[in-house]
A and B are shown apart, each in its own frame.
Chain A
Amino acid sequence: NAGVTQTPKFRVLKTGQSMTLLCAQDMNHEYMYWYRQDPGMGLRLIHYSVGEGTTAKGEVPDGYNVSRLKKQNFLLGLESAAPSQTSVYFCASSITGELFFGEGSRLTVL
């Protein structure tokens, strides 16, 4: 079972470039989330979605946009990458409280 799949797994960007991280889940979950994890900071919620066509801001939404056009996909966009966005990004989905995470996407912004 695929579960939650994130692409790409690694990416290096230059400051000002844009990119999109894709999260796909095959468990028919309503809820999906994007987190970032930095050393000493723990997991911080960027944006989340409670269903197809909905999105909401989390704890650290600035500099990111998201879209949930299809139930199984949740996209995270960086319009103009900054070095402060260097991080590991985790996508997750849930239906009854338990979160299922993807393997993470390591993004470096130079």
Chain B
Amino acid sequence: RKEVEQDPGPFNVPEGATVAFNCTYSNSASQSFFWYRQDCRKEPKLLMSVYSSGNEDGRFTAQLNRASQYISLLIRDSKLSDSATYLCVVSPSGNTPLVFGKGTRLSVIA
């Protein structure tokens, strides 16, 4: 089982739709979790951290389920500008480097 697995997509959704991505991780000792966003031919950038209690930033909601070892990202009221690849990122433990999923591609269509 890969350390971090994501559905590669692409997810093609109309403007205004709600879309959810899931990500599973294999290391139950993992400590920190993040969603990064990567635009085409650009570098990844942090979208949001994921906390056990869940967290929300505008139209974006991230949740963590430690028991099932998965992380989710919900995007409400999708905009054209949300089109990008979303990377699930896990910190295994301590000073171990972050592990990236392969990403889920989202295309929001007018």
Contact = CB atoms under 8 A, between A and B. Distances in A.
A90 interface: yes
Interface in B5-56: 8, 32, 34, 36, 41-46, 49
A33 B97 contact: yes
Nearest to A43: B100
B46 A40 contact: no
A33 B89 CA distance: 15
B43 A90 contact: yes
A99 B101 contact: no
Interface residues of B, number: 20
B102 A99 contact: no
Contacts of A42: 87, 100-103
A8 to B, nearest CB: 15
Contact of A101 (B45, B49, B95): B45
A98 B34 CA distance: 8
A99 B97 CA distance: 10
Contacts of A43: 44, 87, 100
A103 B97 contact: no
A109 interface: no
Interface in A80-110: 90, 97-99, 101-104
Contacts of A41: 102
Contact of B34 (A48, A90, A97, A102): A97
Interface of A: 33, 35, 40-43, 45, 48, 50, 58, 90, 97-99, 101-104
26 contacts: A33-B97, A35-B100, A40-B8, A40-B102, A42-B87, A42-B101, A42-B102, A43-B44, A43-B87, A43-B100, A45-B97, A50-B95, A58-B97, A90-B43, A90-B44, A97-B49, A97-B98, A98-B46, A98-B49, A99-B36, A99-B98, A101-B43, A101-B45, A102-B43, A103-B43, A104-B43
